[in-house]
Structure 1
């Protein structure tokens, strides 16, 4: 069950308005995710994967599946009516999965990402009763992993392979990509 109904906006935080995405938001979400991670536009921010991967980061089907997942929610984050960030949360028992985290390249480095992560942890812990927030990050993204570690995530040493050969997730520019699972304890205060 989503944290909010699709037409319910969350309270404003530092000029940011959080709301639950609907299928109508899929094209804007897809554009945001692609701009944050792939291609030349992504190089304006620090989360780019353009040096590791070419091609797309996700597709309409993947974003639609996240938006319509019965045990999940995709949060949209707007500032002055403009989509500036998003994230996916999915219930997995006592754990919540955190993914599709994207901040518009021009908004990176200004606290938007911290606010999104904080709201996601609040929903997972307080509203869903999750005790952990988990995610996967490309292991070679040391700067990004360090950012998550500063926000309470820890590395687990649990790895999963990158889906080589499946261009829905991009075209690797190197042969050694893999994901590492990161976990944040939501019971710590």
Structure 2
């Protein structure tokens, strides 16, 4: 006869199921809502996406970082323009990058310890026409899925003045990659910490 305790015991979760759940939830957070973008404007919608995914935003003219989703500033549509994004430890992924399309004032982006950032994300970032015009500083740190291909894609960010790269194990051909990037963007200050 089975003991009562064994009847109520939950079966063990299959390996990786917790990770799969978080991956699914993060994909939901990154789903683009085009109606929301039209309703509240690109900067507000992108702010909501970024904060929902754990990133921070700073608005033009403000020294402080916005980190509280519930504390997003209100006011006339289009009043708050995103100037900087700090995506440290966030779950932003390629799926949500459509939110970046309407941002016209972003000068600074930091991608640090972003497990979903990969080459396709950097390529998408560099193909965003507004970011090609506005982005001046980019930091990519400890993003394990970034390779030489992703770094080379950054050559389309023609106004990029400063690029900091650190702890990127996927970069295998450093010298060649950085030489090609420097040729494409001669005014770029490139700082590396890739040992």
TM-score normalised by structure 1 residue count = 0.31
Higher relative contact order (CA 8 A, sep 6+): 1
TM-score normalised by structure 2 residue count = 0.30
Structure richer in helix, relative to its length? 2
Structure ID, larger Rg: 2
